[in-house]
Structure 1
Amino acid sequence: MSINEILTITIVLTAVFAYINHRLIKWPPTIGIMVLSLLSSMLLVIFGNFHSMLSDKAVQLASSINFREVLLNFMLSFLLFAGAIQIDAGKLKKERWPVLALSTLGILISTTLVGGMTWGLFGLFHLPIPFIYCLLFGALISPTDPIAVLAILKTAKIPSSLELKISGESLFNDGVAVVVFVTLLDAAGSGVSAVDFLAVGRLFLQEAVGGLLFGGLLGYIGFYALRSIDDYKVEVLVTLAIVMGGYLIASHLHVSGPLAMVVAGIITGNKVKDEALSDTSRDYLDKFWELVDEILNAILFLLIGLEMLIIKINMTVLLIGVLSVLTVLLARWVSVFFPVLLLRFKIKFEKHAVAILTWGGLRGGLSVALALSLSPAMHRDEFVLITYMIVVFSILVQGLTIGKLAKRLQRT
């Protein structure tokens, strides 16, 4: 299937599903589109024999799209930058300790707990999978996905301080999660005994700290460039260059592109918009990145739904996936509870903060992309199916109920 066909069919399907959702279902756009995409995929799987040509074309489309490449090397940079532009730096500074604790200590706790419980579940069903691969799964499923979180929190109507904690955590925990994932991936390939902890520390500094510094550099380059002109068309192009060029350079420098985009986006959304742009330019920039955010989110959630067509189903693994939904939620609760407990002496948390932070920790396309990056020898098919089930539950069930849960808890 040619690139033109892939793009055309993807955009047309996204537009059709978005229209149906807007007119009939009226759910948050990302959830509505994913539900329709999932239902369409299920119907094609069930009735594929009766409409073999249509089913074959759909499977061909899903197989032609490298989900990992599309998300990690293209869409993620735009979506993180667009999300970070919306963050108020002043308010984020007030929440810096909860965000830092949840995006570091929380990730490590969750990775360990999920890895251990997943290993136990596989053993319970007599599927002996090495513990290191289960830890890899813990690392890829633990980070809350900024794309899913930011898209759904817009309509959740939870307390603004809690919303900022969740969105801030989801934007910053990618760097830590990816470093943990890459480290475990290396350990799985070379043997746990060969892990050099000094090398792990250097990798963390290079990826995470390097990404933060590089993002700051990008943001200030953009600031000085935009301050010297007053033409909204050129200014929008400059921000595009920051995202596309910056992400590409970050990959060559081996620093965290996602963290760089978050920092550059926060600087652009605060210092640049406040000090370098006219009212007209600020309005155009906001609308442009809001549109990019909405369109790419819609396409991403369509692709998540279409992935069902090419995921290999195994009934035993399916049952493990159902149980894994519970274990991941339990691990999320523990990984929120302990950082909150440690910080309660210094910071006042909102009522029922642990419950809302637990239920609001959504998983999304990032986890699916990381699962797809595993090799077949690392039991990729099993972990992709389990990851997919957790992501679908997270977005559909948690995403649709987080607002109602927060409202009900606030009454008690």
Structure 2
Amino acid sequence: MNVNEIISIIIILAAVFAYINHRWIKWPPTIGIMVLSLACSLLLVIFGNSHSLLSENAVKLAASIDFQDVLMNFMLSFLLFAGAIHIDAGKLKKERWPILILSTLGILISTFFVGGAVWLLFGWFHLDIPFIYCLLFGSLISPTDPIAVLAILKQAKIPSSLELKISGESLFNDGVAVVIFITIAEAARSGGADVSAISIGKLFLQEAVGGLLFGALLGYVGYYAVKSIDDYKVEVLITLAMVMGGYMIASHLHISGPLAMVVAGIITGNKVSDEVLSDLSRDYLGKFWELIDEILNAVLFLLIGLEMLIIKVNPTILIIGAICILIVLLARWLSVWFPMLLLRYKLNFEKHAVAILTWGGLRGGLSVALALSLSPEMHRDEFVLVTYMIVIFSILVQGLSIGPLVKRLQKI
């Protein structure tokens, strides 16, 4: 299949599934689309004849899509910018300490807890997977996914302060998680010989701090460019250039493109929108990025469902994956409870905050993309299947139940 055919089929399927969901199922769009995509994939796997034209073309379509490349090198920049542009910087500043601690210390706690528990779990099943690879899995499954979180929280109607904590954490923990993932991956490849505190510190400064500074620079370049004109068509084009050009430059500079997009998006959504845009331009810019967000989310969750067609299924790993769902939930609880324990003397937290933050910490396409980036010797097939199971549970079970959970807790 050529690129034009792949894009056309994906958009057609996303539109059909979105219509079916909106017309009859009436779930949050991202969840509804993923469920329909997943259901179709499962039906083809279970009942389809592997030699039938439909099954062959479906598998061919799924295999022709490099999910890791599409998400990490294209969609992620647009989705993070579109999510950040709607964040209120003033409210974000008030929640800065919980967001900072959750997106740093919380990630580390979860990474090491999951890594250790999964290593023991594989040992119980007599599968010899080195600890360093289990730790690598812990780093890729620990961050809450900003794409899944922002898409589903819109429908959950949780308290605004808690929603900001979850969405803010999910936007910023990406950079930290990627740094940890890259560091552990380098340690795994080199046997730990070339990894030191200095190299880790240098990598963190380059990726995370470099991404933050570059994002601020990008945001203010866009601010002064938009300030000098008054034409919504050109202003929208400038924001597109910021996202596409900025992410490309960040990858060449080896700094965190995702963090740069978050910072640039917050500046654009607050300083640019509030200070220099006319009412007409503000309306067009907001609706443009909202539309981009909705379309790409639909495509992303469709692709997550289609991945089922090409994932290698192993009965033993399915059992391990089911147990890992519980491990990841416990790790999430610890990574929320302990930071809040440290901050409770400085800040007041909402009632049932730990429970809501734990259940609202969704995993999504980012974890799948990182798992797919593993090499075969890092036990890629095993970790991809486990990651996929956790992501599906997170989006379907947690995503659909976070709203009812909040309502029930509010009555207690």
Please report the TM-score for the alignment, with normalisation by the length of structure 2. Answer: 0.99
Q: CA shift at 1:194, angstroms?
A: 3.5
CA distance in 2, matches of 1:143, 1:311: 22
CA distance in 1, matches of 2:176, 2:50: 47
2:153 maps to what in 1?
153
Aligned to 1:194, the other structure's residue is in SS state coil
The C-alpha deviation readout for 1:302-345, integer Å capped at 9, x for no partner, is 00000000000000000000000000000000000000000010
The C-alpha deviation readout for 1:46-80, integer Å capped at 9, x for no partner, is 12218711011000000000000000000000000
Aligned to 2:349, the other structure's residue is in SS state coil
CA distance in 1, matches of 2:96, 2:50: 56
Q: Percent identity at matched positions?
A: 79
The C-alpha deviation readout for 1:146-188, integer Å capped at 9, x for no partner, is 0000000000000000000000000000010000000000000
Aligned to 2:374, the other structure's residue is in SS state coil
Gapped regions of structure 1 (runs ≥ 5) = none
Amino acid of the structure 2 residue aligned with 1:15: A
Q: Does 1:85 align with 2:60?
A: no
Pairing 1:18-29 to 2, within 5 Å after superposition: 18-29=18-29
Q: Does 1:248 align with 2:248?
A: yes
Q: Does 1:106 align with 2:115?
A: no
Computed over aligned residues only, the root mean square deviation of the Cα atoms, in angstroms, reads: 0.7
CA distance in 2, matches of 1:179, 1:308: 28
Pairing 1:316-355 to 2, within 5 Å after superposition: 316-355=316-355
1:57 maps to what in 2?
57
CA distance in 1, matches of 2:393, 2:65: 23
CA distance in 1, matches of 2:102, 2:8: 40
Amino acid of the structure 1 residue aligned with 2:29: P
Aligned to 2:129, the other structure's residue is in SS state coil
1:67 maps to what in 2?
67
The C-alpha deviation readout for 1:203-233, integer Å capped at 9, x for no partner, is 1011000000000000000000001111000
2:314 maps to what in 1?
314
Amino acid of the structure 1 residue aligned with 2:104: T
CA contact (8 A) 2:218 2:246 kept: yes
1:46 maps to what in 2?
46
Pairing 1:223-372 to 2, within 5 Å after superposition: 223-372=223-372
CA contact (8 A) 2:149 2:360 kept: yes
Amino acid of the structure 1 residue aligned with 2:37: S
CA contact (8 A) 2:50 2:56 kept: no
Please report the TM-score for the alignment, with normalisation by the length of structure 1. Answer: 0.99
CA distance in 1, matches of 2:139, 2:212: 21
1:178 maps to what in 2?
178
The C-alpha deviation readout for 1:15-65, integer Å capped at 9, x for no partner, is 000000000100000000000000000011112218711011000000000
2:392 maps to what in 1?
392
CA distance in 1, matches of 2:391, 2:60: 23
Aligned to 1:127, the other structure's residue is in SS state coil
Amino acid of the structure 2 residue aligned with 1:258: P
1:4 maps to what in 2?
4
Gapped regions of structure 2 (runs ≥ 5) = none
Structure 1 residues 50 and 242, CA, compared in 2 at 3 Å: closer, same or farther?
A: closer
CA distance in 2, matches of 1:213, 1:67: 29
Q: Does 1:137 align with 2:137?
A: yes
Relative to structure 2, which stretch is displaced further, 124-133 or 193-202? Answer: 193-202
CA distance in 1, matches of 2:378, 2:48: 31
Amino acid of the structure 2 residue aligned with 1:149: V
Amino acid of the structure 2 residue aligned with 1:53: L
Q: CA shift at 1:193, angstroms?
A: 4.2
The C-alpha deviation readout for 1:59-106, integer Å capped at 9, x for no partner, is 000000000000000000000000000100000000000000000000
CA distance in 2, matches of 1:224, 1:313: 52
Amino acid of the structure 2 residue aligned with 1:313: V
CA contact (8 A) 2:119 2:131 kept: yes
CA contact (8 A) 2:110 2:142 kept: yes
CA distance in 2, matches of 1:208, 1:195: 18
The C-alpha deviation readout for 1:221-266, integer Å capped at 9, x for no partner, is 0000001111000000000000000000001111100000000000
Pairing 1:112-131 to 2, within 5 Å after superposition: 112-131=112-131
Aligned to 2:244, the other structure's residue is in SS state helix
Q: CA shift at 1:192, angstroms?
A: 2.3
Aligned to 1:143, the other structure's residue is in SS state coil
Aligned to 2:351, the other structure's residue is in SS state coil
The C-alpha deviation readout for 1:272-313, integer Å capped at 9, x for no partner, is 000010000000000000000000000000000000000000
